[in-house]
Amino acid sequence: MAATACGRQAWRQLMRNSCRGPAATPSKLLRQQQPYRLAFQRQTSSTTRTTPSSLLRQQPLAQRSYSSGSQGGQQTPPPRSSNSQIKFWPFVVLIALGSGGYMLLINRRKTMPPTTQTTPAFSPSEVTVLFVLGGPGAGKGTQCARLVRDYQFTHLSAGDLLREEQDRPGSQYGQLIKDCIKNGEIVPMEVTIALLENAMRDTITRTGNKKFLIDGFPRKMDQALKFEEVVCPAKLVLFYDCPEAEMEKRLLERGKTSGRADDNAESIRKRFRTFVETSMPVVHHYEAENRVVKVISTPPPDQVYADTQVQLKKALGDKF
Ligand code: UP5
Ligand code: MG
């Protein structure tokens, strides 16, 4: 009680001092508190007698009582009170309950049907998707225009959709797309896949046309797998093969008037590198699955188109 009263007194004094203004500096306040702190210590030590120093003094005795016989250990350990004993049964009960629950879960899983795979948004039996791939300037867009004219496809160029999104006022991806295109890098697939899926849905709703040429996509394995999983499996890949020197010549020529931010020597170099390192593995993946129709696109456009028709008819029949 005395200690508590002392503490209260100290607190009141501290508050009085702190209200006195500039004279009550922190060091002064500390000095003023000192007698109260000492008084408080004296009170406690006289009642409990367990100051740090007294505890230290007791320590050697306590150690001896648990030491081995060689250190004069005739003394037996003090009897442990029932309160200090560790109780094991709660742990045993917990472990038993946990294991039981786990076994129940496993058994329930066994009787559950296997997890269903994601269903693509469009069924390949109703919607036809042809991926059109090839290096930058290989002639994908040029050939797609002819296929649209003759076979009623809807042409969706991933690059065009990205450029549109980049220019759309308020687009949160505008800057990201701009940077990627300038550097010949690939825009994160979530953006491109969403644009493609929306465009497909929109086309089907507006026109009822369900035949799509998806140009310049997928450019990366993860895009390929994701698109086929969530949007629509592709019927095949139309791959235009063209040497880099020819593609570079075409792009530099087009760059004189196209206004495209990536039709310049530096961007073209980066686009080529991305194509070889990241997009060619996609072509190889589909080749391994026997789903690629390859057309050499070095000759003039009409000749390339004639060959495209021959190849597509071979793969898909006359009415593709
Ligand atoms: N030309 C065409 N065919 C010819 C022929 N047989 N003989 C002589 N000349 C021919 O043709 C290019 C030029 O060559 C034209 O002037 C044409 O007249 C002439 P084009 O048909 O436009 O070729 P294309 O293969 O379509 O070239 P493009 O430049 O469009 O190819 P890219 O794949 O580089 O461009 P895209 O627009 O698809 O992508 C641009 C960027 O968008 C990418 O680099 C990337 O940053 C980004 N992107 C993504 O991030 N993700 C995507 O999924 C798609 C794009
Ligand atoms: Mg193109």
Per-residue pLDDT of the chain in tens (320 residues, 90 and over written 9)? 444 444 444 344 433 443 343 333 333 333 343 333 333 343 434 334 343 333 333 443 333 333 333 344 445 555 555 555 677 888 888 898 988 888 888 777 766 666 666 899 999 999 999 999 999 999 999 999 999 999 999 999 999 999 999 999 999 999 999 999 999 999 999 999 999 999 999 999 999 999 999 999 999 999 999 999 999 999 999 999 999 999 999 999 999 999 999 999 999 999 999 999 999 999 999 999 999 999 999 999 999 999 999 999 999 998 88
Does the bond joining 218 to the residue before it have cis omega, within 30 degrees of 0?
yes
156 lines ligand 1 (CB under 6 A): no
Q: Confirm whether residue 113 is marked as ligand binding.
A: no
290 CA distance to ligand 2 middle (Å): 25
Hey, what amino acid is at 158? A
Ligand in closest contact with the CA of 271: 1
237 DSSP β-pair partners:
131, 292
Would you say 291 and 238 are in contact if contact means Cβ atoms under 8 Å apart? no
Q: Confirm whether residue 299 is marked as ligand binding.
A: yes
166 CA distance to ligand 1 middle (Å): 17
Hey, what amino acid is at 117? Q
Hey, what amino acid is at 46? S
Report pTM.
Answer: 0.71
